[in-house]
Amino acid sequence: MAIFDVMPDIPEIALPRLAGKPEMMMIEDMRMAPDLRVGDFVMISPVDRFQYDSLYVLEELEVMSVWQCQHIGGGQISIRSRERRQRPRIVSHEEFKAMVVAIVGMTCRVLDPRIMGEVRH
């Protein structure tokens, strides 16, 4: 029995529709540690703009990473990692649109990598 078979009907709320099929992405950096570590997974859905305060996959210099993104008003978005020494970066909605790849819908913490076997990403 799949989890979706036993979940109750949940009323639809007014959130923006996500474009594209969700997929899994392996975390490859420590930018969001301790919340997300190398080898953990996130389920992502492609987006082309800011949706709401959440974790997003952003691409810069051909590298994709997960970042905490928050709308701070005035048409600006704060982008930050969990690294203590790094200050948040402030970007416009247009700058964000040029970087955004996907929004994170779910995180999966790998506690024992031995059970994962050979995972391809």
Length of the chain counted residue by residue: 121
CB 37 within 8 A of CB 27: yes
103, two tokens: 């929004």
Helix (H) or strand (E) holding 95: helix 93-99
User: Which residues lie closer than 8 Å to 69 by C-beta, 6 or more apart?
Assistant: 50, 53, 54, 55, 56, 58, 77, 78, 79, 96
Residue 14: predicted pLDDT: 47
> Given this model, what pLDDT does residue 33 score?
85
Please state whether 62 falls in left (phi above 0), alpha (psi between -120 and 50) or beta.
left
| CATH number 1.20.120.550 is the correct assignment for the domain at 19-111 | no
- Kindly list the domain boundaries of the chain, sorted by start residue: 19-111
Local structure of residue 32 (DSSP, 8 states): T
> What is the model's pLDDT at position 21?
78
| pTM (2 d.p.) | 0.76
Residue pLDDT tens, the chain, 121 long: 444 454 455 444 444 555 667 889 999 988 888 889 888 999 999 999 999 999 999 998 888 999 999 999 999 999 998 877 788 999 999 999 999 999 999 998 888 877 766 555 4
Q: What is the pLDDT of residue 4?
A: 46
Quote the pLDDT of residue 31. 86
The answer to whether 25 and 104 have CB atoms below 8 angstroms apart is: no
